[in-house]
């Protein structure tokens, strides 16, 4: 258990968590077996398998005796080991194994089918017997080599007293080969070596496609992992040197040095130095961003030039890059309604297949008394009704959809959110930082403040999240006053209102005018309706007025038009005053909007909708409405709390990724429904045909394998559709123009 103790992490005072690798997971049956066994283990609170990465995340009660997790997984028929943070080539090795097995099976299937054609064309008895011997000589060694993938999986299940999708396949192969060897030795007219090897060949086509797709999906996570530096340069106590330290040992508030051409190891705030940073990981912009003292840097971003001193603000496990990796993993492990339904069907269907095959055998024995014919029918039932297509129907489509979303710059954090996104009827946008650039400018012509008031406001806004507060804090030159260096007391950022703090006996507020003035008076100054307004008050007495303006994002109009083309209604909710809100609404042709909306107002607005609502916002004041909406999105540059609350995170500044994500979700939902209908419909038709004896083992092998390949091929249409959407988005981006309110 030492390995688990070292790899585990505390997620609360009483709960520990660890990720374990289980390389032999390959189907829904494996997932169900592992999760069921772990959840029945005393002390385990949560267990969820990720089929893409072949890992299981386990949480347990750390106040009680630590459960033997390795033993529990072994009881389910699998071996596990502690995962490492380094990139693994296990996926490539597995793909190569499948390709080699596929090549051997394909070679053998082609030759055996050619020999079978000679038999079917009317060969005499001696020639037929020779051709059967040649078929056996080719098929049996090929089956021993190529089908070991299925037999290994079946054995892992059987030795712990359960079944999986590979058990009926292996039973069918064994019976078919034994029956064919018996008929060959006794000079029988019919042998089924062609059926056995063709079954394995066609199955391997589906498994290889599936493995290749999962390997490509896993590379997305591996590529992110490579962006995480393994070492960080921590500044020494005297500030004259730095010490290379493993990034896992870097602590919050440590001072680190980031040299040119190095990636940022952990989230940090620049203390000194200037440079340009490749922030494309965070904002999707190819142009580098100029940074200096006070700017926040996220892990994985690349320092292009200049030496930076920075203070760590998040441990490596809580950094931006780690959160993305964790959210990808959580999205893939969570099960939506369709996945849960398919898992339930598969769980009971596999035993049903064995019972149906046995009943078919007994029925034909009773009806005809021909044991050879009865065995043939039983084998056909086993092969044709294998639930592979049903097991693949949902996870294949969902994993492809999740990684197509990543390509569009959209991170799915919660698995069932994809289904909910497909049902959205209304899209509600926040204004500042969502439809606008989120980088408002302080308008000197419309503002009224003096040097001392600006200094107080800047000190108040230094640690705030709201874009207006950030605009004041970064206003240059910063006019710090020597009389205001006392530490703020009871500093708090009130969502939707502003910032409040105490200095001595005086209460200062900066934010919405009515709130800052304690609703006792009206603002002393009249501000142009096109600008946003914030005031600074001392003991409810107005000291200064600050006006801001912002710019609508360049692709906002195209995004709104595209959403309407998708049949969606679009609304605007803004905490801003009526002037800027109405200006943005008019520029984007949004007829339904509300200004001066507090967090409670936004929450009520969302809750009044009977339709499925997608809420998109970036601020702390948006978190209640994001939680209440059917599904939610937040920009990657939004507040930490907002990103954690949202179901989807926009990893770049492309608003066009929103309609793209909805289109992917809708397409995925249609494909999942088609896959389920195809898998269920196929089995409903195939089982009676096999029981009536109308299907030979060869036809059963072809039919079953083709159904799996069709499900995979149908799911891969998501990739083609995404390519079309990417080209469309590029054309929109090339023709879009900047719009200002």
Positions marked active-site: 430
Round to whole Å and give the CA distance between 543 and 234.
Answer: 43
DSSP secondary structure string for all residues of 50-63: ETTTTEEEEEEETT
Positive/negative CA dihedral, 472, 476, 482, 488: positive
Round to whole Å and give the CA distance between 269 and 320.
Answer: 13
3-state secondary structure of 241: coil
Round to whole Å and give the CA distance between 632 and 603.
Answer: 13
Cis omega (within 30 of 0) for bond into 594:
no
Beta bridge partners of 225: none
The DSSP letter of residue 478 is: -
DSSP secondary structure string for all residues of 328-366: HHHHHHS--HHHHHHHHHHHHHHHHHHHHHHHHHHHHHH
Q: Tell which residue, 61, 30, 57, 64, has the closest CA to residue 153.
A: 30
Round to whole Å and give the CA distance between 195 and 109.
Answer: 9
> Is the CB of residue 497 less than 8 Å from the CB of residue 511?
yes
Structure tokens at 542: 């107005």
Round to whole Å and give the CA distance between 488 and 510.
Answer: 13
The phi and psi torsions of 532 (rounded to 5 degrees) equal -85, 150
Structure tokens at 655: 């608003």
Structure tokens at 214: 């999962």
CA end-to-end distance (rounded Å), the chain:
61
Burial 397-424 (b: 16+ CB within 10 A, else e): bbbbbbbbbbbbbbbbbbbbbbbbbbeb
> Is the CB of residue 689 less than 8 Å from the CB of residue 697?
no
Half-sphere exposure of 397 (CA within 13 A, CB side): 33
DSSP secondary structure string for all residues of 531-550: SEEEEEEETTEEEEEEEEE-
The phi and psi torsions of 440 (rounded to 5 degrees) equal -65, 155
The DSSP letter of residue 497 is: T
Give Rg (Cα) of the chain: 32
Round to whole Å and give the CA distance between 545 and 534.
Answer: 6
Region class of 294: left (phi > 0), else alpha (psi between -120 and 50), else beta? left
Whole-angstrom CA distances from 701 to 117, 119, 197, 471 are: 17, 20, 9, 67
Q: Are strands 426-430 and 569-573 parallel, antiparallel or unpaired?
A: parallel
Query: What count of other Cβ atoms lies within 10 Å of the Cβ of residue 519?
Result: 11
Q: Are strands 631-635 and 648-650 parallel, antiparallel or unpaired?
A: parallel
The DSSP letter of residue 576 is: S
The phi and psi torsions of 338 (rounded to 5 degrees) equal -65, -40
CA 307 to chain centre: 35
Helix residue spans in 186-268 (DSSP H): 193-226
């Amino acid at each position: 258990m030492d390995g688990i103790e070292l790899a585990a992490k505390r997620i609360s005072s009483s709960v520990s968590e660890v990720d374990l690798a289980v390389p032999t997971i390959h189907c829904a049956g494996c997932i169900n077996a592992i999760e069921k066994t772990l959840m029945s283990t005393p002390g385990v609170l949560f267990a969820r398998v990720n089929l893409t990465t072949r890992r299981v995340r386990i949480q347990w009660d750390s106040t009680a005796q630590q459960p033997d997790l390795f033993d529990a997984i072994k009881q389910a028929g699998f071996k596990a080991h502690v995962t490492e943070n380094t990139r693994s080539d296990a996926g490539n090795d597995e793909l190569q194994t499948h390709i080699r097995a596929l090549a051997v099976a394909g070679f053998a299937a082609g030759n055996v089918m050619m020999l079978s054609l000679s038999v079917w064309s009317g060969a005499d008895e001696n020639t037929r017997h020779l051709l059967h011997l040649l078929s056996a000589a080719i098929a049996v060694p090929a089956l021993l080599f190529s089908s070991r993938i299925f037999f290994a999986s079946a054995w892992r299940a059987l030795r712990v007293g359960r079944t999986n999708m590979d058990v009926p396949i292996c039973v069918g192969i064994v019976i078919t080969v034994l029956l064919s060897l018996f008929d060959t030795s006794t000079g029988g007219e019919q042998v089924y070596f062609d059926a056995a090897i063709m079954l394995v060949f066609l199955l391997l086509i589906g498994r290889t496609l599936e493995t290749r797709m999962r390997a490509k999906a896993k590379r997305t996570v591996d590529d992110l992992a490579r962006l995480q530096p393994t070492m960080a340069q921590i500044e020494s106590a005297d500030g004259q040197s730095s010490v290379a330290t493993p990034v896992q040992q870097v602590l919050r508030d440590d001072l680190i040095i980031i040299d040119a051409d190095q990636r940022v190891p952990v989230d940090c705030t620049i203390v000194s130095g200037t440079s340009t940073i490749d922030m494309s990981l965070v904002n999707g912009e190819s142009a580098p961003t100029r940074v200096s003292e006070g700017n926040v840097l996220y892990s994985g971003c690349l320092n292009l030039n200049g030496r930076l001193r920075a203070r760590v603000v998040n441990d490596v496990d809580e950094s931006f890059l780690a959160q993305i990796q964790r959210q990808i993993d959580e999205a893939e492990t969570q099960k939506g309604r369709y996945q849960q339904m398919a898992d339930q069907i598969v769980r009971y269907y596999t035993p049903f297949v064995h019972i149906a095959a046995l009943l078919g055998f007994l029925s034909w024995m009773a009806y005809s008394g021909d044991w050879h014919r009865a065995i043939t029918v039983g084998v056909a039932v086993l092969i044709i009704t294998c639930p592979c297509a049903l097991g693949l129907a949902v996870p294949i489509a969902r994993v492809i959809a999740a990684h197509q979303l990543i390509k569009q710059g959209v991170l799915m954090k919660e698995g069932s959110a994809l289904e909910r996104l497909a049902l959205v009827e209304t899209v509600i946008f926040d204004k500042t930082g969502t439809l606008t650039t989120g980088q408002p400018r302080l308008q000197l012509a419309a503002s009224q403040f003096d040097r001392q008031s600006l200094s107080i406001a800047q000190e108040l806004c230094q640690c705030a999240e709201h874009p207006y507060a950030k605009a004041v804090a970064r206003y240059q030159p910063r006019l710090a006053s020597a009389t205001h260096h006392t530490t703020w007391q009871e500093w708090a950022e009130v969502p939707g209102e502003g910032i409040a703090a105490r200095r001595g006996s005086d209460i200062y507020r900066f934010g919405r005018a009515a709130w800052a003035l304690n609703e006792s008076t009206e603002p002393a100054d009249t501000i142009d309706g096109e600008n946003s307004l914030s005031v600074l008050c001392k003991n409810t007495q107005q000291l200064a007025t600050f006006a801001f303006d912002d710019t609508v994002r360049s692709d906002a109009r195209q995004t709104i038009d595209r959403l309407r083309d998708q049949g969606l209604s679009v609304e605007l909710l803004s905490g801003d005053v009526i002037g800027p809100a109405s200006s943005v609404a008019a520029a984007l042709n949004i007829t339904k909007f509300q200004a001066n909306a507090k967090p409670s107002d936004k929450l009520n607005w969302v809750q009044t909708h009977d339709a499925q609502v997608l809420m998109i916002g970036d601020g702390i004041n948006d978190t209640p409405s994001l939680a209440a909406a059917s599904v939610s999105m937040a920009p990657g540059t939004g507040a930490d709390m907002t990103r954690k609350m949202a179901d989807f995170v926009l990893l770049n500044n492309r608003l066009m990724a929103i309609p793209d994500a909805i289109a992917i979700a809708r397409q995925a939902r249609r494909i999942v429904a088609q896959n389920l209908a195809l898998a269920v419909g196929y089995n409903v038709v195939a089982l009676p045909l096999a029981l009536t004896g109308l299907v030979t083992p060869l036809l059963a092998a072809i039919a079953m394998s083709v159904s799996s390949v069709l499900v995979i091929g149908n799911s891969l249409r998501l990739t083609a559709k995404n390519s079309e959407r990417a080209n469309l988005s590029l054309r929109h981006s090339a023709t879009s123009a900047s719009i200002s309110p």
